Structure 1
Amino acid sequence: MNKEQFLKQLEAFLKRLSLEERQDILQDYKEYYAMGIEKGKSEQEISASLGHPKQIAKELLASYHLDMVEQTTSSGNILRAVWAVIGLGFFNILIVLGPFCALAGVVISGWLASVAFILSPLGVLINLFLGQFRMSDMFFSLGLCGIGIFIAMGMLVATKSLTKGFIRYLKFNITFVKGGVKHE
């Protein structure tokens, strides 16, 4: 594959990125070709040493989405980053999707428990209107509400920590897939 074919394929696979991002990436690869030609390599040799444009694009998209998560941590950005990292390889379905589902389950269940505990005094109000009010129910529901507030505070910290840890795990996974993990 020559330089033009390589760059056209790479640009096609990077179409989800902004025009500016694509141009920056393509300029880097044009410079790589220029340096290789100065060293006496043919365009085919340079293309072969770079790898397939589709795999390069997958790695670049995964890195791009992880950078987006670091800039703006939102559920949409996290899902796009997870999906991009899963796309790097078949085994990433198990290696990335499994921990992601487990962490998402823990976070969602923790938040649901805190909301349920905080809203427990509403049950006392319902009992009041039904004529089944007991003072002990009110104190118990207020205790649950307090516990729910503590759970919510803990979940806020846990959610931030788990998100940061999972982003680090995704970065490690990208480095591992690229073959960049070195054992010294």
Structure 2
Amino acid sequence: MNKDQFLKKLDQSLNRLSDDERKDILADFQEHFDLAKEDDKTEEEIAQSLGAPSQIGKELLATHYLEKAETTSSTGNFLRAVWAVIGLGFFNLVIVLGPFIALVSLIVAGWITGGAFVISPFLFLINVVLYPSSFLYFDLFFTITLTGIGLFIVIGMVYATNIVTKGFMRYLNFNVRVVKGGMK
């Protein structure tokens, strides 16, 4: 594959990036070709030494989305980063998706539990309005206790969600380094 074919395939694999970012990356690879040509290497040798443009594109996209998720913390950025890392290979489907589903399930379960406990007084009031004869002081105090526990759970879930998100981002960065061959 010659330089033009390599750069065209790389450009196609980076289509999710902005035009400016793509141009910068392509200019870097163009410069790499130019420098290697000065060492009397053919375009085919240079392209072969760089690797597959599609894999390079996947790695660059994963790195881009990870950086974006770290700087602008949002659910969309986080999910795009996870998806980009999973796209690096089949190995990552198992290694990244499994822990991701488990952690998201635990976080969602914690938020649902805390939320259910917090809204328990409203459910108690609805029950008393619909069936006034069912009022018991035990139920009233039990729902107040559940509300207090629910508030503690919700506060804990705020911290747990932040810690798990940051920890998983570190895990994704580690995974990208392993896939790129950065771990010696």
**TM-score (norm: length of structure 1):** 0.96
Question: What does 1:151-170 align with in structure 2 at a 5 Å threshold?
Answer: 151-170=153-172
Gaps of 5+ in 1: none
CA RMSD after TM alignment: 0.9
Gaps of 5+ in 2: none
Shift of 1:127: 2.5
* Letter aligned with residue 176 of structure 1: V
Alignment length (residue pairs): 182
Is 1:5 equivalent to 2:5 in the alignment?
A: yes
Question: Which residue of the partner structure matches residue 182 of structure 2?
Answer: 180
Question: What does 1:118-137 align with in structure 2 at a 5 Å threshold?
Answer: 118-129=118-129, 130-131=131-132, 132-137=134-139
Q: Which runs of 4+ in 1 moved over 3 A?
A: none
Q: Which has the larger displacement, 19-28 or 67-76?
A: 67-76
* Letter aligned with residue 59 of structure 2: E
Is 1:17 equivalent to 2:17 in the alignment?
A: yes
Q: Which has the larger displacement, 18-27 or 72-81?
A: 72-81
Is 1:141 equivalent to 2:143 in the alignment?
A: yes
* Letter aligned with residue 27 of structure 1: A
**TM-score (norm: length of structure 2):** 0.96
Distance 1:89 1:107 in 2: 26
- What do residues 107-158 of structure 1 show as CA deviations (whole Å, max 9, x unaligned)? 0000000000000101220222111111121111011101111001111001
Distance 2:52 2:101 in 1: 31
Question: Which residue of the partner structure matches residue 81 of structure 1?
Answer: 81
Distance 2:166 2:35 in 1: 38
- What do residues 70-107 of structure 1 show as CA deviations (whole Å, max 9, x unaligned)? 12222211111111111111111110000000000000
